[in-house]
Amino acid sequence: MITFKQFLTEDISVVDGKLRISNQTYKAGSTKEAISTYFRAVPYKTTLKGTDVDVYSLLNYVSSEVSTDILKSLKGSGPYKVDEKQYAYFMSHVKATSAVFIRHVKPDIILYPKSSSPLLKQFVEEVAKGYPTAEVLSDTFIKSALKADDVEPLINVDHPDWAKFAKENPKEVVALKRSLKLNIQHGELQLKHIYKPYSKFLKNFIELKDAYTVLEKVMDKDVLIIDDIYSTGSTMAEMVRQLKDFECSKIVCLTLFKLTSTPK
C-alpha cells in the first residue's frame, strides 16, 4: 500500500483577480472555488475506464469555471498569472509525494502524452527525479492520422530485417499492406488486429526511428503513464490500449489532479 506523509501545503484559489497559493493550511478539501493541495495519507485511486489499469492521483478538484481557469493557469494558458515562489513551494511538495509513489511502483519506463503544458513537463521531471533508473520517453506518444489508402508510410523499410523479409516473402508483404488497410479505423491503426510478427516493421506508436525500437523498450517492462490532469481519462486509455499491443508487463497511471463531481 502506498502511504504518504500528510504534507500540508495550501489551497489554490483566485483572490482579487489573481491566482494565489495561500499561506493558510486548507484541510476542508477541494471546492468549486478552490483546489486543496492537502496531500492525503494515501493517493486517490480509481480504475481507468474500459481497462483493468489503476490510476493514482495526488490531488483532486471539483469541476467548475473557477477550477478550470485555475488549472489552465497552472498549465500556462489560463487567465491568471502564477506567482513563481508560491508555485515552486507547491512543486516541492509534489516532488516529495511523487518520490514516495515512484519508489513503490519502480517503473522501467515513464511515458507521458505529447503536450506543451509546462505543468505536465515539470510534473514528469519531479517524478523522474525520485527514480532516476527509469527511462523517460518524453513528448513521444502520438495518435497517427492516416488514410486507409496510404499504408506505405506505416512500414519501416529501414528496419534491418525488412529487405530480406520483402525479398523472400513477397506475398506476405502484400498481406501486410492489405492487413494495414483493413485495420485502419477512424484514422488510427488498430494494432491489436495486426499479425504480431509484422509489428516490428510498423511505424505507429511512438515518434522514434522505428517500431521495433519501441517494442524493445516496452515489451515485458513495467510502464508508468503520467499526465497532469485526469478528467475523462481518454488520453491515458488510448495510451494503455496501444501499450497492451506491445505486451508490457505492467501498466500504472499517475496524475497530479483528478476530477471529482463533489467536494472531498
- Tens digits of residue pLDDT in 186-215: 666 666 677 878 877 876 554 444 445 666
CA 225 to the chain's CA centroid: 4
Give the residue ranges of the chain where pLDDT is below 50.
142-143, 206-211, 263-264
Same domain, 192 and 68: no
Same domain, 127 and 55: yes
DSSP for 142-163?
A: ------TT--GGGB-TTSTTHH
Q: Provide the pLDDT for residue 27.
A: 59
- Tens digits of residue pLDDT in 3-19: 766 666 678 999 888 89
Cell 485511486, residue? 45
- Torsion-angle region of 181 (φ positive above 0: left; ψ -120 to 50: alpha; else: beta): alpha
184 φ, ψ to 5°? -100, 115
Same domain, 48 and 96: yes
Same domain, 175 and 59: no
Domain, as residue range, for 199 = 152-204
- The count of residues in the chain is 264
Cell 505536465, residue? 120
Q: Provide the pLDDT for residue 204.
A: 52
Q: State whether residue 232 is helix, strand or coil.
A: coil
Q: Provide the pLDDT for residue 71.
A: 95
Assigned domain for 233 exists: yes
Whole-model pTM: value is: 0.74
Number of domain units in the chain: 2
The alpha-carbon radius of gyration of the chain (Å, integer) is 21
Q: 7 with 93: CB under 8 angstroms? A: yes
Q: Provide the pLDDT for residue 217.
A: 75
Same domain, 112 and 158: no
CATH of the domain at 30: 3.40.1010.20
Mean of per-residue pLDDT scores for the chain = 82
151 φ, ψ to 5°? -100, -15
Q: 29 with 12: CB under 8 angstroms? A: no
| Residues 6+ positions from 38 with CB-CB distance below 8 Å | 6, 7, 8, 9, 11, 25, 26, 27, 29
